[in-house]
Amino acid sequence: MTARRLSSGGRIDRSQTVTFRWDGKRLQGFAGDTLASALLANNQRIIGRSFKYHRPRGVMSAGVEESGAIVTTGRGARSEPNVKATQQELFEGLVASGQNAWPSVRHDVGAVSGLFSRFFAAGFYYKTFMGLPPFETGRGTGIWMQYEKLIRKAAGMGSASRLPDPDVYDHAHGFCDVLVVGAGPAGLAAALELAQQGRDVVLVEQDFELGGDYLAQSDPQAITRRDTQVAALRAAGVRIMTRTTAFGLYDNGVAGLLERVTDHLASPDASLPRQRFWTMRAGRTVLATGALERFISFGNNDLPGVMTPNAARSYLNRFGVLPGQRIVVATNNDSAYAVAGELAAAGAQVILADARSDAALVAPKGVELRQGLAPFNASGGRGVSGIEFASQQGGAWRVAGREACDLLLVSGGWSPVINLASHLGARPIWDSALACFLPGKTRSDIHMAGSAAGVWQTEACEASGTAVARQVIGADTALPAAGGWQTPIAPLYEVRVPGRRTKAFVDPQHDVTGDDVRLAHQEGFVSVEHLKRYTTLGMATDQGKMGNIIGLAMMAEALGREIPQVGTTRFRPPYTPVAIGALAGRHTGPHAKPLRRTPLHDWNLRQGAVMTDAGLWHRPWYFPHAGEGMAEAYVREATAVRETVGICDVSSLGKIAIQGPDATEFLNRIYTNPFAKLPIGRARYGIMLRDDGIVMDDGTTWRLGESDYLMTTTTTNAGKVMVFLEELLHTRWQDLRVHVTSVSDHWAGVSIAGPKSREVIAPCLEDGEAVTNDNLPFLGVRPVRLKGGIEGLIARISFSGELAYEIYVPSGYGEAMMALLWPQAQAQNGVLYGLEALGALRIEKGHVTGAELDGRMTIDDAGLGKMASPKKTFIGDALRRRPELTDPNRPQLVGVFPKIRSDTFNAGALLTAPGEDSGFGDGWLTAVTHSPALGHWIGIGYIAGGVAAWEGRRVLASDPTRRGPVEVEIVPPIMFDPKGDRMHG
Amino acid sequence: MIILNCPFCGPRDHSEFDYGGDGSITYPSLDAPVEDWHAAVFLRDNICGVQTETWQHTQGCRMWLLVERDTMSHEVHSIRPAHPGHAAVLEGKV
Ligand SMILES: [Zn+2]
């Protein structure tokens, strides 16, 4: 191939030279070039190496269907693999290199694997490494995965940067009356007609220039026409988005758009996102997405220098590059004739081989036309140097001469881009006259225009766009018929000569050959879905845009059927690849999920809190003194709570106001224990189940008035409980007069726990007598006024097992409350304590949390069966009686001590009898801690049958992946102060 | 990308809503036999076509809704408040 830049012509700006680097070399192109056109202008032939066989590959197309010129752009953290050179705009300083090759695409060590290519046939990996000795069934999969890593490394698909992505991506939302996808002759005409009829139109074009096929035409009239249309569109107020791909269509007129904002800029404005991911909502959508020219399968059809005629036309007319000097054009349809003439006019020597013998067209000026010839086998090492032809004789192809060439253009017909319509379920219909899939019946809000609907000629495409626009508006307008060739296409997918073996590619990007397709058939993978998965046909980054139909045609032939009977796979989004970064948008790092802060967040940080995640919340984990780690800090904090007093931020607990005349009845139905007679000014611990009888959540509910309750939930289940209560009231118990309101964020709450807690609180209150044992007994609740007039609520409830209170004040007064409480606590040698100490205290007391109430346990499993009232019914009461849930051998809550008290263990360890440590074990540890009160490690967990079944027996905490087994003892779950004397004190 | 037309808030993206479940279920009374509860909670039809579903406008007005949706096309045929009291208020009857 001797490609060269012509001295004139094309839409490049010859006054603006652009310097770029290709595989370390400095090369030059012009503004308006793609990387592919600039590489061709520099006569670069080998652009990539193929995936499996490392065969040299060059530019095969001029668009998104590219299967050969797949490159890596950028450097370091901005290194981007698998970029199609045909889509990458050239800019000053662009760095690009070939991939799948070492040390370079021109001298690739891996090419030797081509010699062993039979080992890479379809299904080879599976058959070799899975299920066969020595990799017997069952074991093979793991070994296969190891081999796969090696094979993939050898094969390569470009490599992504392992550095964090330095770019930002935005999410954006748009709305319009009509979305027009594609700005070729049909799309421009449709958008203009719609805008002139007063519709709000968004026109998206994946290219950096509007015009589509106009841009590739040699006739200057085409550009004039394009310029007129674009000017009229702008005047009519059409919103135009170039460099924007509509990659998927979804329900309700939603289109996913990817706008490449800075990928074409040498030094982008730092305030711009690299890409924008648009959710566009359109009333109607016009798909003017064009058609892609496809290949034919024949020997060495992947050599550099083999491309589509339409690509050559684009390079010639748009980019001013003549991609070859001795050119053979092989076609089975009319479209290549004009290209052949244009190439000849540009000075190339052109032979046009038409597989048809009956074509009515005459040879263009300067072109040697040979009818009845098809390409059979290309020759050349590092690029095409000649082509052997074949002709039909007696129903089979026979070799019919050869011709030298440096560029071989192959057209096997055109495939309308129906991908987007297919995303919404439109079934492609095979049109045997045009030898292509047409969109079939689309949904009423989706319209196909131009060559996407199988209309081939420019004027007809314009008419199609206008007619579709009128249909969108509601006019009863006839659409132009599909087609437009003088002589019908002669379907041609593969050229094989009996007795001659060739390497003929169906899907060049994934190195799938015709032999692979026949092998799939031979081994029974005849459904198109199986064919795809067995051979990987159409699964590369081009999604089979060039090769899929050839594969289907071959399978149809092997089965003795027609293509429509074989069917096609459904297209799925995205039409072209979308960076994960664009999908994530700004939702990365700390913005990946919202952060919830308690009203005391800043106060906690000022006291030196180390924070931890609790759901979306950040909560204090521990408050280290100088020189302390987590272990020392939490032991000190928990010890202080038992000896003096501690204060803990509990603002993140869910809080739900339950109000209304039927509030009591409502609570009585959702809690397992009775609430009908809870007096005003009292709190009660309650458990609620799901419909299926499994525990949903627990917490205390405070009766504030006759029809006024405050329910608290666990931090993590606050949202779930609220939704469930609303569901019950809205959908199930519509007669109950109850209103529920989430007030979690309205209150700042602290727990003050420890023998000195009363001494801390009393001085902070306007009336210190409010917290005497008589005025506020265990589980009492009352309004309270802190000094300075802060109105709040106080309840005497305990999670730690100590004398303890919870005080809630309006969020904005949280810090004022701490300013009162904390000095008093310090005067009592008290501490602030975090989640780790809280965990230690509750494990000592055998109190359950989300780790124990994990969505699988019943109220009996959790040792709380006495809280299920036999005198009333409640949510979950019926289904908790299922035999599976009442089996006495179910896991039950237990406490766990290490047999040797100085031992430790991990949460998640399995509890097993000695010698039975394979499988699932008999139980598991849900939480562990060092117990300051007991002076050794303790755990809480579940074991089948509970304490009664295991007391006095040998048990192991089996933890093979982290540490060895530890012998443990099963004890009752309340491991400290089982009678509860301390909290009543 | 379903858009649900909340009777209170207007058309909103489905990401504001949470799917509830089968809206055709009448839950048994709390003292009904376990068989009735088993049927209501576990025995569900897998409908190919239009089905009634409950959704909640969690990120909006928090109303529970009854939605008739075609499981094949995602076409939404109707949306109304699950609670007749809400419906009456929105229709101006109260
Ligand atoms: Zn709403």
Kindly report, residue by residue over A298-349, the tens digit of the pLDDT.
999 999 999 999 999 999 999 999 999 999 999 999 999 999 999 999 999 9
Residue A252 has pLDDT above 90, yes or no: no
Beta strands in chain B (DSSP E): 3-6, 10-13, 18-22, 50-56, 64-70, 76-81
Q: Which CATH architecture has domain A498-559?
A: Orthogonal Bundle (1.10)
If one looks up domain A4-113 in CATH, what number appears?
3.10.20.440
> Cβ of A723 and B1 within 8 Å?
no
Hunting for tokens 């017997």 — which residue is that?
Answer: A136
Q: How confident is the model at residue A136 (pLDDT cuts 50, 70, 90)?
A: very low
Return all residues near A982 (Cβ < 8 A) that are at least 6 apart. A755, A801, A802, A803
**What is the distance between the alpha carbons of residues A743 and A712, in angstroms, rounded to a whole number?**
10
* Residue A552 scores a pLDDT above 70: yes
Is residue A892 within 8 A of residue A848, CB to CB? The reply is no
Question: Is the four-CA dihedral A873, A878, A883, A884 of positive or negative sign?
Answer: negative
- Mean pLDDT, chain B, rounded, equals 94
The pLDDT assigned to A483 comes to 96
Q: How confident is the model at residue A120 (pLDDT cuts 50, 70, 90)?
A: low
Mutate to test the interface with B, among A720, A731, A741, A874 (most CBs of B within 10 A): A731
- The confidence score (pLDDT) of residue A172 equals 97
Q: What is the CATH number of domain A596-652+746-840?
A: 3.30.1360.120
The per-residue pLDDT for A394 is: 87
User: Which chain A residues contact residue B79 at CB under 8 A?
Assistant: none
What is the signed CA dihedral for A953, A958, A964, A966, rounded to 10 degrees? -30
pLDDT in tens, A901-958: 999 999 999 999 998 877 889 999 999 999 999 999 999 999 999 999 998 899 999 9
A819 burial type by CB count under 10 A (0-12 exposed, 13-18 middle, 19+ buried): middle
Please state which CATH number belongs to domain A654-742: 3.30.70.1400
Q: Is the dihedral of CA A591, A595, A601, A604 positive or negative?
A: negative
Helix (H/G/I), strand (E/B), else coil: A658 = strand
The pLDDT confidence band at residue A137, using thresholds 50, 70 and 90, is: very low
What is the DSSP annotation of A327-369? EEEEESSTTHHHHHHHHHHTT-EEEEEES-S---PPPPTTEEE
> Cα(A565)–Cα(A544) distance, rounded to whole angstroms?
19
| Contact check, Cβ <8 Å, A727/B54 | yes
Burial label, A360 (beta-carbon count in 10 A; 0-12, 13-18, 19+): exposed
Q: Tokens 């503004």 label which residue?
A: A31
What is the model's pLDDT at position A134? 43
What is the per-residue pLDDT across A475-491, written as a single tens digit (0 to 9) for each?
A: 999 999 999 999 999 99
CA of A249 to the centre of ligand 1 (A): 26
Q: Which residue segments constitute the domains of chain B, with CATH numbers given? A: 15-26+36-90 (3.30.2270.10)
Question: How many other CB atoms are there within 10 angstroms of residue A415's CB atom?
Answer: 24
Using a CB-CB distance cutoff of 8 angstroms, which residues of chain A are in contact with residue B5? Answer: none
Question: What does the pLDDT read at residue A418?
Answer: 94
Q: DSSP readout, A839-908?
A: HHHHHHHT---TTTSSSS--TTTTT-GGGS-TTS--TTTTGGGSHHHH-TTSEEEEEEEESSTT----TT
Please give the DSSP secondary-structure letter assigned to residue A132. Answer: S
pLDDT at A162 over 80: yes
Option in B41, B74, B86 nearest A692 (CB): B41
Q: What is the pLDDT of residues A385-441, one digit of tens each?
A: 999 999 999 889 999 999 999 999 999 999 999 999 999 888 899 999 999 999 988
Provide the residue ranges of all domains of chain A, joining segments of one domain with +.
4-113, 167-292+414-487+568-587, 296-411, 498-559, 596-652+746-840, 654-742, 841-984
Residues 6+ apart with CB under 8 A from A627: none
> What is residue A153's three-state secondary structure?
helix
Cα dihedral B17, B19, B23, B26, rounded to 10, equals -110
Q: How remote is the CA of residue A721 from the centroid of ligand 1, in Å?
A: 19
Does residue A642 have a pLDDT over 70? yes
**CATH tag, A167-292+414-487+568-587:** 3.50.50.60
Rounded to whole angstroms, the Cα distance separating A231 from A43 reads 36
For the domain with range A296-411, which CATH number is right: 3.40.50.300, 3.50.50.60, 3.20.20.150, 1.10.287.3510? 3.50.50.60
What are the backbone dihedrals phi and psi of residue A547, each rounded to the nearest 5 degrees, phi first? -105, -20
Residue of B13, B17, B34 to mutate for A, most A C-beta atoms under 10 A: B34
User: What is the pLDDT averaged over residues A499-520?
Assistant: 92
Distance CA A632, CA A623 (A): 10
- State the pLDDT at residue A132: 45
Percent of chain A with pLDDT over 90: 84
Which pLDDT band holds residue A443 (cuts at 50, 70, 90)?
confident
> Could you tell me which chain B residue has the CA closest to the CA of A173?
B13
Cα separation, A297 vs A294, whole angstroms: 10
| DSSP classification of residue A937 | E
Asked whether residue A147 carries a pLDDT value surpassing 80, the answer given is: no
Q: For residue A126, what pLDDT is reported?
A: 56
Does the pLDDT at position A287 exceed 90? Answer: yes
Indicate the length of chain B as a whole number: 94
A481-495, A541-555, A777-791, A943-957: the lowest-pLDDT one: A541-555
Tens digits of per-residue pLDDT, A46-57? 998 887 788 899
B88 touches chain A (CB under 8 A): no
Mean per-residue pLDDT of chain A:
93
How far A818 CA lies from chain B's nearest CA (Å)? Answer: 33
Helices (H), A474-512: none
Q: Given this model, what pLDDT does residue A545 score?
A: 86
How far B33 CA lies from chain A's nearest CA (Å)? 7
pLDDT digits (tens, 9 = 90+) for A574-588: 999 999 999 999 999
Q: Nearest CA to CA, how far is B37 from chain A (Å)? A: 7
CATH superfamily of A841-984: Probable tRNA modification gtpase trme; domain 1 (3.30.1360.120)
pLDDT of residue A135: 42
A279 reaches B (C-beta below 8 A): yes
Say yes or no: do domains A596-652+746-840 and A841-984 share a fold. Answer: yes
pTM metric for this prediction = 0.88
How far away, in angstroms, is B14 Cα from ligand 1 center? 11
